Structure 1
Amino acid sequence: MKSPIFLAALILSSATLFAQSDKKPSEPARPATGGSGEPRPQRQMVSSKKPDVSKAGNEQVAEIIKTYKGRGTLADDTPPTPPEEAVKKFKVRDGFEVELVASEPVIGQPLHISWDSKGRMWVTQYLQYQFPAGLKIVEYDNHLRAQFDKVPEPPPHGTKGADKITVFEDTNGDGKYDSHRDVITGLNIATSAVHGAGGIWVSNPPYLLFYPDADGDANPDSDPQVKLAGFGLEDTHSVMNSLKWGPDGWLYGANGSTTTGEVKDPASGEIVKWQGQMIWRYHPPTEKFEIYAEGGGNTFSVEIDSKGRVFSGTNNGNTRGMYYPQGAYGKKGWGKHGPLTNPYAFGYINHMAHEGDKNRFAQAFCIYEGGLYGDEWEGKIIAPNSLHNIVWVSKLLPDGSTFKTVDEEPLVETDDRWFRPVFSGVGPDGCVYIADWYDTRLSHVRPVDDWHKSSGRIYRVKPMGTDPKLQVMDFANASAEDLVGEFD
């Protein structure tokens, strides 16, 4: 039985394009056409919300909020499409079809999906984004990074936010998630959640939270414990994110490019400091915290394949993302994102070389090892590009001490501008699941909360004419003999 692969994702930052003169040139960038093949019409940028100066802690910040024009893909006048109709608009790769798993009003702004040992699907709804509740901004820098008037208290203390964790369950074994419930609410900038090691783990910067769940019923037994503190909040599209269990028993996560961190390692008592993008990990039995590798784009995803190799998507163009050997120093924008932690790191690892579509950006991808699609699919990258309303398939090929990627046909594309695939992962049924933020706006770079928070969808992509079941084995309660029998 293959392990489920999942991953998390979001949105814009400045891009530094990567190129290597000794690599084969990529194909020209694919025009932004969507599924119809026709060029997209230009849309008028509109917003029904006025700047909210109550977020400002002083007149200077209030003036920035009132006058900042914003940049990138902002809210426009394109009308939304109802969920079932949106599915019909998808252009899907031959041999596959898209099925709607969940949509509004049950979910809004889904950012991250994970699955537990019982096959339950955990969805993080990032509804508080983009401003933390209960905080005022006292300073913006020239990259719109914020300094706040205080550090938020961990839940259940302090001001409650709108973020929540929702669990979906197949109660009758028919392969459909027929039950759902909100298990944690009131979170304030929560980006991901995973179940395991005795409870529920939530990335809620500045904290890594642990909700005990001794009987595994997906209901917290108590208020959360703060396992780590000190993750930066300066930029809420660049905070700690994408919790993921590794095969080594460590809990992995990412940190984006425009936040900093100062976290005390509980095991040693040492303070771990960094600036910008990196992969970190935490070992629950020993409480050890460490930086696993550094660099990349605005790192907002973590993928770990069946061999334990660590990857992440990127907001750069002409690449699918980064491969991170342990201890690696990756390329980053030094001026904006700060130095590496080691001043004697005189070189760095680049993004993976790429042949195919050059358009930004494959912010979050998964590596398919689900066993359902056929042997030819094993090890391929499923890479959503939320900026261009498309989900790519790319071969992942060895390239010296790293990898390169080569595009195939897309898996899913559409001319619906609202389709914003921010996450892809492989469920316990072997299908690829896609979290759709569903909004015309995608750019973080405007200090106005005009996101369309009442919409969001989750889809699964299955082989045409099939009805995959959730092939679940409860690894947490399985015997040693049963576990040995699962090895290929």
Structure 2
Amino acid sequence: MRPLLSLSLCLLTINLLAAGKELEGERAAATSVCPTPEEARAKMSVPEGYEVRCFAHEPMVQNPVAMTWDHRGRLWIVEAYEYPEGTPLPEDQRPFGGEAKDDKYHTMPKLGDKIPRDRVIILEDTNNDGEADKRTVFVEGLNLASAIICGDGGIYVGQQPHLLHFRDDDGDDKPDAWRVILTGFGREDTHELVNSFTWGPDGWLYMTHGVFTNSKVRRPGQPEKEGFKFDAGIGRARPTSREKEGAWEFEVFADGTSNPWGCDYDAAGNFFVSACVIDHFFHMAPGGIYTRQGGAPENPYAYELLPSIVKHKHFRAAYAGIQIYQGGRYPADTHGHAFIGNIHDNAIHEEVLTPVGATFKCEPRRDFLRANNGWFRPVSTQTGPDGFLWIMDWCDKYPCYQNAKANPEGVDRERGRIWRVVLQDDKSKTTRDHTDLNLMKLPTDDLVDTLEHSNSWMRRMARRALVEKSDQEDAVAPIATLANSAANNASSRL
């Protein structure tokens, strides 16, 4: 009944919002035949001075649902073949599922012929022509994987019911060990699984989560009753020590919204999320309790729920991916703007954020990208190593699994595209700041200098590299000098 209930709520809410200020574009209904990557790119419209380039497409990538980069500027992607139902295989054929009894590292299991189909791949442009030419499968056998981020010698993956870490000890792009960091993540609505992993400026791992999936997040081995209720909003987690197998802690950073699928922060560390069905954009402060699509906040004394920061509506209900642009490559009038993917409208909207007291107001500027193609499903929009916006395109005829169920063929299993929106006068085709980029090999002083880089991707990756370095004491003095310099702006100090 849950999918029908979710669909009914979607339709009801859309009708209620019709009286608001709605900004509708020229939408293109999905045709029965998917445009080729070349045809899809030719259909796209972007503002003057920009152009769209394709980094990867099927069969190099299929069913992409989450992406991130490592310290070398290589793109890591979760391919979600088990969406939306999850694998029908029994528990003993789900190598990374089942009950988590401890949070210790385990050797990688031997995989049988029948395993869940979700996996993590690495895409790389080895000849610097701007297109992926190398694909590596890092790990497979996942079930309903929905989030990924690199860190601590491997990758963190959100795969219900666990937050997993896969460790690559020898750098051969194959995991050598795995562990369950946290458990208790629900799967009642597979549109609303834990998603959008982001390393925050404070070193915590941030994530978002939908309202109709009920999680009780806890450490492996803890009773469910001791878990944190997490059913809408932003959560965050961190290790309690620098020990490799040390325990992690979790907390709800901000409660509310609907199905947030996208999380980012600005140059001052303010967090924002994109949401679905209800208002599409929220500024979320720590401890804040915000309006919801359904259910009730955990705190029974939250008498007035905080609102969104928008008064306008775009077409329909589903938004995914958000990026507060700080990449240093686009014109100055885009910096600090929010770029939000609209799955139903087949577009990327650019919105202007203006401080208002302790929060912001968000107003529309333009459609930064309009696909003019009903198969375009922008699930994630992020600033890449080159300082340009990268867009992960699920590429499906249907925006939601409820729609796909009306067709015997169901969800598309063959397609996926990664787009870059670059400047037309950019003649370099490289997708990284340096062709030999490797931030983990930089000396400490160079990493501290990178905290002043014009591209937020470089700043954030340098900060993460400093967090992971074993000789952190060497960084204290140069970081103090940087922080105390009056010439530095907020983004460098952050």
Separation in 2 of the partners of 1:401 and 1:299? 22
Separation in 2 of the partners of 1:160 and 1:463? 43
1:478 pairs, out of 442, 448, 451, with 442
Alignment match, 1:203: 158
CA contact (8 A) 1:30 1:359 kept: no
1:97 pairs, out of 48, 51, 69, with 51
Alignment match, 1:52: none
Matches within 5 A, 1:147-226: 152=98, 156=109, 160-173=115-128, 175-222=130-177, 224-226=178-180
User: What TM-score does the superposition give when structure 1 sets the normalisation length?
Assistant: 0.78
Amino acid at match of 1:458: I
Percent identity over paired residues: 30
SS where residue 476 of structure 1 aligns? helix
Give the Å deviation of 1:174: 5.2
Give the Å deviation of 1:396: 1.4
Give the Å deviation of 1:305: 3.0
SS where residue 367 of structure 2 aligns? coil
SS where residue 298 of structure 1 aligns? coil
Give the Å deviation of 1:239: 1.2
Amino acid at match of 2:305: Y
Amino acid at match of 2:447: L
Give the Å deviation of 1:201: 0.6
The answer as to 2:275 corresponding to 1:314 is: yes
Separation in 1 of the partners of 2:352 and 2:61? 32
Separation in 1 of the partners of 2:170 and 2:19? 52
CA contact (8 A) 1:26 1:354 kept: no
Give the Å deviation of 1:178: 2.9
1:327 pairs, out of 258, 267, 287, with 287
Separation in 2 of the partners of 1:360 and 1:389? 12
Give the Å deviation of 1:320: 3.8
Alignment match, 1:262: 216
> 1:212-242, CA deviations, whole angstroms, 9 ceiling, x for partnerless residues?
12344543122x2111111001111111111
Separation in 2 of the partners of 1:242 and 1:203? 9
Separation in 2 of the partners of 1:247 and 1:126? 29
Cα-Cα RMSD: 2.9
Stretches of structure 2 that go unaligned for 5 or more consecutive residues are 1-5, 91-96, 101-107, 242-247, 453-494
CA contact (8 A) 2:128 2:429 kept: no
Amino acid at match of 1:471: D
CA pair 13-433 structure 1, distance change in 2 beyond 3 A: farther
Alignment match, 1:66: none
Separation in 1 of the partners of 2:8 and 2:263? 17
CA contact (8 A) 2:61 2:79 kept: yes
Matches within 5 A, 1:330-479: 330-334=290-294, 338-355=295-312, 357=314, 359-445=316-402, 448=405, 450-466=410-426, 467=428, 469=430, 470-472=432-434, 474-479=438-443
CA pair 267-232 structure 1, distance change in 2 beyond 3 A: closer
Which structure ranks higher in relative contact order (CA pairs < 8 Å, sequence separation ≥ 6)? 1
Stretches of structure 1 that go unaligned for 5 or more consecutive residues are 1-10, 19-24, 35-39, 42-75, 137-150
Amino acid at match of 2:438: D
Alignment match, 1:31: 24
> 1:329-374, CA deviations, whole angstroms, 9 ceiling, x for partnerless residues?
111134xxx2211112222211112447464343321111110112
The answer as to 2:33 corresponding to 1:79 is: yes
Alignment match, 1:227: 181
CA contact (8 A) 2:89 2:115 kept: no
1:123 pairs, out of 70, 77, 85, with 77
CA pair 305-179 structure 1, distance change in 2 beyond 3 A: farther
Alignment match, 1:292: 253
Amino acid at match of 1:100: C
SS where residue 40 of structure 2 aligns? helix
User: What TM-score does the superposition give when structure 2 sets the normalisation length?
Assistant: 0.77
Separation in 2 of the partners of 1:409 and 1:190? 33
Give the Å deviation of 1:307: 2.9
Alignment match, 2:473: none
Structure richer in helix, relative to its length: 2
Q: Which moved more, 1:460-469 or 1:371-380?
A: 460-469
Separation in 2 of the partners of 1:384 and 1:378? 17
CA contact (8 A) 1:462 1:468 kept: no
Separation in 2 of the partners of 1:26 and 1:135? 46
Separation in 2 of the partners of 1:230 and 1:320? 27
CA pair 341-113 structure 1, distance change in 2 beyond 3 A: same
CA pair 476-304 structure 1, distance change in 2 beyond 3 A: farther
CA pair 247-476 structure 1, distance change in 2 beyond 3 A: farther
